[in-house]
A and B are shown apart, each in its own frame.
Chain A
């Protein structure tokens, strides 16, 4: 059985010479929900951008058994649903429908299938009634849900979420946690919200300074006060 996500010795330096990743390795099994925590500048977002080839560093990444290379980008991007931190960056179309349809349309699916997927994706995030709305007039919580729907419509195997709870009020945050718990996809989420980590993710990976510094069951990592403090985190 292959892993859903396999990253091996990934190194990356930004074009301006700023090094970001120093040999990151991790693997995630199908259906697993894993949290990625660490201070700002630890390389979490940089790692996320590698998962579907937006950034390409040295090292090996396999998504559902497919190595991430130039020739496989189409397949990889359909398999990894990347949800960006700011929904205003993710929702760039005039209406909610067009945003959710963007992925399936650009995968070249037939129109009937595109429409079916849009309704299914919006229904699964509880936003079925929002199909004709204009993104600008939505609340932060609604935008986050729709941002997730824009990748669910591509039917990905893995969801990569960048700071999904940032900017949400407690009720919207609780709703999002319940939504993510019910989704069948494998999830890798980068976050600073350790309560969220404790509620949802059985496994936690800590990154700091472009390296993986801890990788194990959330229970034991969140109890290791010394480890958490060494990497700028606070015990929830």
Chain B
């Protein structure tokens, strides 16, 4: 049996962070990312304090100080979208490459964006590894995220693997028939593109048909357009205190960032 093995990000555990209410964790992560985003460029002290916060969460989760740090570098390439800033933002030139001048202001802005995205990714990683996916969905629903959006995320999570399995099977089937004959083998780039395009179309059709069968299975069990879930134990005082503490910490960082 072919199986697409994309390991679940969730790491089972019973640490303080694991036990927090999912709603608190989602809110806390969003607030952290917001705080990192609104800080002015070059607030290095605040960035440092934010980084300490991310490290502390990682340590408290029982996964080790550097758990999120080590996994956060995957996101850095995306920050390269801002690479043009040092050249386009006017200011004190600090370096000359050919006819292009690297400005100090632009470089600070670029580095700040780099640090901000890197910090945000660490917190997002901690959220994903300490919260089981169904809990995340529940938390989003409870926080009044749009129903349709939450359902789409839920189905995507469930069927991403199934689709990946199907894609893998199609690719094997292609590989099995791509033998080398006496002549030139492999086909032109155009031909390969056509085969790949056909596979994508094939997968889309399969996904479409599957969605109809899933919908049938849902209405067969009484679905009438509204997803219902069981209620869960309410937030505890410990949850509320944790959120309060986190907000105070973020407010302090913002204050430092804007004053200095």
Interface residue ranges, A against B (CB under 8 Å): 49, 52, 54, 74, 77-78, 82, 84, 86, 88-90, 92-95, 98, 101-103, 105-107, 111, 114-115, 134-136, 140, 150-151, 154
Contacts and interface: CB of A to CB of B under 8 A. Distances in A.
Given A92-B155, A105-B229, A106-B224, A136 B219 contact: no
Nearest to A115: B230
Nearest to B213: A89
Given A88-B162, A105-B229, A94 B157 contact: yes
A114 B230 contact: yes
If over half of A's interface residues share one DSSP class (helix, strand or loop), that class is named, otherwise mixed; here it is helix
B217 interface: yes
B188 interface: no
B154 interface: yes
Contacts, number: 73
B134 A103 contact: no
B221 A84 contact: no
Interface in B127-157: 133-134, 137, 154-155, 157
B222 A78 contact: yes
Contacts of A106: 221-224, 228
Contact of B230 (A49, A101, A135, A151): A101
A77 B214 contact: no
B221 A151 contact: yes
A92 B158 contact: yes
B236 interface: no
Nearest to A89: B213
A100 to B, nearest CB: 10
Given A84-B216, A111-B231, A154-B221, A136 B162 contact: yes
User: Which of B154, B210, B222 has the most chain A CB atoms inside 10 A of its CB?
Assistant: B222
11 contacts: A84-B213, A84-B220, A88-B162, A92-B158, A92-B159, A94-B157, A98-B134, A105-B230, A106-B221, A106-B228, A135-B158
B161 interface: yes
If over half of B's interface residues share one DSSP class (helix, strand or loop), that class is named, otherwise mixed; here it is helix
Contacts of B214: 89, 92
Nearest to A101: B230
Interface string B201-226: 00000000010011011111111100
Contact of A94 (B137, B162, B223, B231): B137
A111 B154 contact: no
A150 B134 CA distance: 18
B237 interface: no
Given A77-B222, A136-B161, A154-B222, A98 B229 contact: yes
Contacts of B222: 74, 77-78, 103, 106-107, 154
B230 A111 contact: yes
Contacts of B155: 92
B46 to A, nearest CB: 37
Nearest to A54: B216
A103 B216 CA distance: 13
Nearest to B5: A137
Contacts of A82: 217, 220
Contacts of B161: 136
